[in-house]
Amino acid sequence: MTTIVKGEHRKLTLRQRRGRAVNAVADVLRKKLLVPNIYLEPHSHPLAVDVLAVDRAGSGDLHAVQVKLENDFKMEPGKKPANPKAINERNREWWAHFRKKMGEIRGRLMSLPAHYRYLAIEKDSWDSVMGELGDLYSPDGIGRIGIITINDHGEDPPSAEIVITPERFRVDAAKLSKIEKNLINNKKVRPDIRSADLNLRNR
């Protein structure tokens, strides 16, 4: 991804790309939910996700999003293959790495203590990710992971879209109570986007 600054092309850093994607996802949840409080990259174990939105001004359901960009699936660079056999072997290694990574991502999403869980990916990654992610439903059928695609618009801000609607998961009461105490009801931690701010802006 590149942007144009004063007539020059400038390649964005990985951190900048992730930050723009996080903002795009937050905007989708801001529009979807009734009265959201949104936390960007909250450092709250076990909810250390990229975007956390709490509906109804902090008293409603939790919506947690993990953002995975293309770079998150890369292998450590190795020796450049010198012949077709080595190239094929490297490709097999990459697919094995990718499948393992997708299994880890799915496991992490299934374990999140949030009522609604999403994976946000770049639109260009759709085919490969969805081909390996596996079943989006909880083993007991209560809950389905939602999928958000992030669309690159060059120098304009990226946009995001919910393409697979999530279904509500059950959340362990003890874990939920801990999150409420340490994050949602913690007066020292303020949401990055508050419902009160949105209401004032829309008057």
DSSP three-state, residue 172: coil
Q: What are the residues facing 26 on neighbouring strands? A: none
Query: What are the phi and psi torsion angles at 56 (to 5°)?
Result: 55, 50
- Give the pTM: 0.85
Kindly state whether residue 53 falls inside one of the protein's structural domains.
yes
Kindly state whether residue 129 falls inside one of the protein's structural domains.
yes
Kindly state whether residue 4 falls inside one of the protein's structural domains.
no
Q: What is the CA radius of gyration of the chain?
A: 19
Kindly state whether residue 1 falls inside one of the protein's structural domains.
no
Kindly state whether residue 194 falls inside one of the protein's structural domains.
yes
Count of C-beta atoms within a 10 Å radius of residue 90: 15
Kindly state whether residue 7 falls inside one of the protein's structural domains.
no
Count of C-beta atoms within a 10 Å radius of residue 67: 24
The domain containing residue 77 runs over which residues?
12-201
Kindly state whether residue 169 falls inside one of the protein's structural domains.
yes
* Model confidence band, residue 63 (pLDDT cutoffs 50, 70, 90): very high
Structure tokens that stand for 158 in this block = 């990226």
Residue 64 has pLDDT above 60, yes or no: yes
Q: What is the mean pLDDT of the chain?
A: 87
Q: How many domains does the chain have?
A: 1
Q: What is the pLDDT of residue 83?
A: 74
Kindly state whether residue 63 falls inside one of the protein's structural domains.
yes
Give the CA distances from residue 147 to residues 68, 82, 119, 125, 138, in Å, rounded to whole numbers and listed in that order. Answer: 11, 38, 5, 12, 15
Q: What is the mean pLDDT of residues 82-101?
A: 84
Each residue's pLDDT tens digit, 116-148: 999 999 999 999 999 999 899 999 999 999 999
